[in-house]
Amino acid sequence: MTTDTERATPAETRALRWFFLLAFVLLAAGLGLRDPWPSDEPRFTLVARQMVESGDWLFPHRGTELYADKPPMMMWLEAIAYELTRTWRIAFLLPSLVASLLTLGLTYDLGRRLWNRRVGLYAAGTVLFAFQFMYQMKRAQIDPLITCFITLANWGLLRHCLRGPDWRAYWLGCFAAGLGVITKGVGVLALLMLLPYAYARAAGWPGVAQTARSALRWSAGALAFLLPILLWLVPMLLVAQARGTPEYDAYVNDILFKQTAKRYADSWSHVQPFWYYLPILLFNWFPVSLAYAGAIPRWWRDLKARDPRLLMTLGWTLMIVVFFSIPRGKRDVYLLPALPMVALAIAPYLEEMLRTRWLRTTAFAIALLGGLVIVGAGGWTLHGTWKAANSFLLRRELVEEAHAVVSLVVAIGAGFVAAALWFRPARGVHALLTGIAGLWLLWSFGAYPILNDSSSARGVMRRAGEMIGPERELGLVGWKEQNMLMADRPTMDFGFKAPLPDQLARGTQWLAQAPERRRLFVLEKAMGDCVDRSLAAKVGHANRRDWWLVGMDAIKPGCVPGGAAEDDADDAGDGDGG
């Protein structure tokens, strides 16, 4: 088992610096050019903003209600980023940017320590160019954070188990797993890495650390794991008990039980078949999946030779896939933390595979044909003959921006074609990776400004503010987080999870207290039979919903709200998973 213990050569240092410069450019591209987009980004940013404004960082709030769907780590980090930058357009994406760069750095360092610097660079590059990684890391969701914390935990455990004993690395790994728990709950899964280690050690595999008579030090890992959990849990429970209201009791029950064990054992959303993750591994992890065919026989060969590095990285990945395949509810992002471990298992063989004609030719063909298909689809849309694409643009209120959007798509396709023609089949992998890099740069700098008004609800909230004037108060009925976040003034809400008829009834009471000074911003589905639409003003369509402004004159006298349908499309679900 070879490792890289010598000092880096100047060429290796330059390669590493260029790689991380490239990673930073791709991941930070577009920073500050857009606001939070649904489904999860506005939710977390709104909660973080309310933390900053209220000073209550222990109990997250969404409007007037407590928000118990996720632990507070993500919201804390966004709030801290705002305190540092004083602008939400940058602050909401900073935690994801830092987490993504740390994930790449940890992946590189593991590859360097377990194999050599070249393998480390290949592993980090494999992670960077995986489609799911770049897509998720450029969003302000919880998944970049949980991926970073689990990778840090794996870094500590692998360093201890394969290059140790290194007890400080082990304790840091356990601590990171605890941070993962108060980020999304599943951070504990990092500790499953100890199972393949225990097997390899019991079976006498070479290359594993021997830690005889160290029971106390092993036990200290449990304390390190519990420490961040207790630092959050104990104050939260004490304050909730002191406040002693049903609302805080429900918050404790929800955050500790419903959103963790109960959600896993009895998933109530995103129901998928057991084999759901197989296409995720193929398509969402493209172009990593191109290496599977060459890596699998090499994995089998080296596992038979009892290489513990592969046993631990691949064994842990297999356990993660099985764990998330058992419950009915599944999301593609659940597997993202496993990507760095798969990249580490592939990286030792990449240099050899890159010399093979089949891989170079396949990558070239995908870049060229894929680019031509994208250009053709864009041209078809520009000529108005692709009805599905034009219908999509209409639904997203992008009719005026349609030419710019489609031109951007054509430019992305042309980028792939140009890269393929420049590098040719002999360097087909370079062509594909260049095309992918161009895609993310064009998307970040081109699409963000074009799509922001409709995607973030900034446009519809700006129109609502202009329609009521600067002096009036605004109440929200049937609202989503982006509406409150993008409003141009403080707003009144009447509950978020409350039934729509109840929200409208409370909103009507609020409206009646100062009818000249107040207006309601209402989801069309919430209007029911109690709003005279001829006296209301339609604001517009955003996030697949129609929105209206309602004054007291539009409320039918004596009508009791009760016929409004529930809003059944919650911004494509809880995108950060379970």
Residue 427: pLDDT above 80?
Answer: yes
Please name the helix (run of DSSP H) or strand (run of DSSP E) that holds residue 434, with its range, or none. helix 428-442
Does residue 62 lie within any of the structural domains?
A: no
The helix-helix angle for 143-163 and 339-354 (nearest 10°) equals: 70
Share above pLDDT 70 across residues of the chain, in percent, rounded to a whole number: 93
- Give the pLDDT confidence score for residue 227 in this predicted structure: 97
The 3-state DSSP class for residue 429 equals helix
- Give the pLDDT confidence score for residue 552 in this predicted structure: 95
Residue 575: pLDDT above 50?
Answer: no
Residue 406: pLDDT above 50?
Answer: yes
Choice between 400 and 307, residue whose per-residue pLDDT is larger = 307
pLDDT in tens, 526-543: 998 999 999 999 999 888
- Give the pLDDT confidence score for residue 391 in this predicted structure: 74
Confidence band of 564 (pLDDT split at 50, 70, 90): very low
Determine the average pLDDT of the residues in 54-61: 94
Determine the average pLDDT of the residues in 438-444: 96
Confidence band of 387 (pLDDT split at 50, 70, 90): confident
Confidence band of 454 (pLDDT split at 50, 70, 90): confident
Q: Return phi, psi of residue 216, to 5°.
A: -65, -40
pLDDT in tens, 519-528: 999 999 999 8
The helix-helix angle for 143-163 and 194-202 (nearest 10°) equals: 20
Determine the average pLDDT of the residues in 346-363: 96
Determine the average pLDDT of the residues in 32-55: 95
Last residue in a domain, options 409, 430, 455:
455
Q: Are 432 and 315 within one domain?
A: no
Does residue 496 lie within any of the structural domains?
A: yes
Does residue 436 lie within any of the structural domains?
A: yes
Q: Are 307 and 220 within one domain?
A: yes
Q: Are 441 and 469 within one domain?
A: no
Choice between 185 and 500, residue whose per-residue pLDDT is larger = 500
Calpha distance 323→329 (Å, rounded): 12
Residue 92: pLDDT above 60?
Answer: yes
Q: What is the dihedral of CA 267, 273, 278, 282, to 10 degrees?
A: -90
Q: Are 300 and 162 within one domain?
A: yes
- Give the pLDDT confidence score for residue 262 in this predicted structure: 55
Q: Are 220 and 324 within one domain?
A: yes
Confidence band of 265 (pLDDT split at 50, 70, 90): low
Kindly report which listed range (259-263, 288-292, 448-452) carries the lowest average pLDDT score. Answer: 259-263
Determine the average pLDDT of the residues in 360-377: 95
Does residue 37 lie within any of the structural domains?
A: no
Question: Which of 148-162, 233-247, 547-561 has the highest mean predicted lDDT (pLDDT)?
Answer: 148-162
Confidence band of 39 (pLDDT split at 50, 70, 90): confident
Determine the average pLDDT of the residues in 456-478: 95
Residue 32: pLDDT above 90?
Answer: yes
Confidence band of 566 (pLDDT split at 50, 70, 90): very low
Calpha distance 363→152 (Å, rounded): 32
Determine the average pLDDT of the residues in 139-152: 97
Number of neighbours of residue 548 by Cβ within 10 angstroms:
22
pLDDT in tens, 204-247: 999 998 876 688 999 999 999 999 999 999 999 999 999 989 99
Q: Are 242 and 391 within one domain?
A: no
Please name the helix (run of DSSP H) or strand (run of DSSP E) that holds residue 535, with its range, or none. none
Residue 567: pLDDT above 50?
Answer: no
pLDDT in tens, 11-28: 999 999 999 999 999 999
Buried b (16+ CB within 10 A) or exposed e, 237-259: eeebeeeeeeebeebbebbbeeb
Q: Which domain holds residue 198?
A: 93-254+270-354
**CA 52 to chain CA centroid, nearest Å:** 23
Residue 347: pLDDT above 50?
Answer: yes
Does residue 451 lie within any of the structural domains?
A: yes
Q: Count structural domains, the chain.
A: 3
Residue 517: pLDDT above 50?
Answer: yes
Determine the average pLDDT of the residues in 540-562: 90
Confidence band of 30 (pLDDT split at 50, 70, 90): very high
Q: Are 238 and 126 within one domain?
A: yes
- Give the pLDDT confidence score for residue 571 in this predicted structure: 43
Residue with tokens 């009925």: 477
Determine the average pLDDT of the residues in 364-390: 85
- Give the pLDDT confidence score for residue 214 in this predicted structure: 82
Last residue in a domain, options 298, 322, 354:
354
Q: What is the dihedral of CA 27, 28, 31, 36, to 10 degrees?
A: 30
Last residue in a domain, options 294, 319, 354:
354
Determine the average pLDDT of the residues in 478-494: 96
Alpha carbon of 192 to those of 145, 320, 412: distances in Å? 19, 9, 41
Q: Are 314 and 423 within one domain?
A: no
Q: Are 436 and 512 within one domain?
A: no
Choice between 343 and 382, residue whose per-residue pLDDT is larger = 343
Share above pLDDT 90 across residues of the chain, in percent, rounded to a whole number: 78
In the DSSP assignment, the letter for residue 63 is T
Tokens at residue 129, please?
Answer: 């160019």
Choice between 68 and 108, residue whose per-residue pLDDT is larger = 108
Alpha carbon of 450 to those of 67, 242, 433, 443: distances in Å? 31, 48, 25, 10
Q: Are 287 and 411 within one domain?
A: no
- Give the pLDDT confidence score for residue 569 in this predicted structure: 40
Does residue 336 lie within any of the structural domains?
A: yes
The CA-CA-CA angle for residues 516, 520, 522, to 5°, reads 155
Calpha distance 43→46 (Å, rounded): 5
Q: Are 414 and 508 within one domain?
A: no
- Give the pLDDT confidence score for residue 8 in this predicted structure: 84
Does residue 49 lie within any of the structural domains?
A: no
Determine the average pLDDT of the residues in 432-449: 96
Residue 565: pLDDT above 60?
Answer: no
| Mean pLDDT taken over the chain | 91
Contacts of 75 (CB under 8 A, 6+ apart): 44, 47, 48, 51, 60
The helix-helix angle for 73-85 and 41-54 (nearest 10°) equals: 70
Confidence band of 544 (pLDDT split at 50, 70, 90): confident
Residue 568: pLDDT above 50?
Answer: no
Does residue 178 lie within any of the structural domains?
A: yes
Q: Return phi, psi of residue 474, to 5°.
A: -125, 130
- Give the pLDDT confidence score for residue 261 in this predicted structure: 56
Q: Are 236 and 378 within one domain?
A: no
